[in-house]
Amino acid sequence: MEKLFWKLANSTRLFIQYGCVVHCFFQYVGDLVLCSGPSMEPTIFTDDIIITEHITPRFQQIQKGDIVIAKCPHNPLQNICKRVKGLPGDKVYMDYGRSEIVPIGHIWLEGDNSSNSTDSRNYGAVPQGLIKSRVLLRVYPFSNVKTF
């Protein structure tokens, strides 16, 4: 009985250790994201699975053209997937000839499907602190694997 207890204790310890490593990896290095919504079509579709990394946003190395995952400025329980169209200090052009300067500490995000995307054109520049990760690779569907 004592051997069984120690085996169970060791198994539990290993489970907790590996769980902590996996949690830290997904929190600080990268993760898998299931996408939903039409705003990034035709680049990313609903039910596509993408791999993201968390290191670039932490060091504020996001560049124009990157696709990022961010907290929604209006609903912090929701994540958004958008393309970076403007960095701090950039002048971005919107509909009807309007333009705006992206403030320091913010970025301008737009969906690739401009006719069906709620993005910075609606809610303005997004604070850089809301950027969670940068998209690296679409891994599902398997027939359509693509790097970004």
Catalytic residues: 39, 82
Report in angstroms the alpha-carbon separations of 32 from 10, 50, 134, 136. 30, 6, 11, 10
Amino acid 143 reads S
In angstroms, rounded to a whole number, what is the distance separating the alpha carbons of residues 133 and 148? 13
In angstroms, rounded to a whole number, what is the distance separating the alpha carbons of residues 10 and 17? 11
Question: CB under 8 Å to 18, separation ≥6 — which residues?
Answer: none
Cα 134 to the chain's mean position, in Å? 5
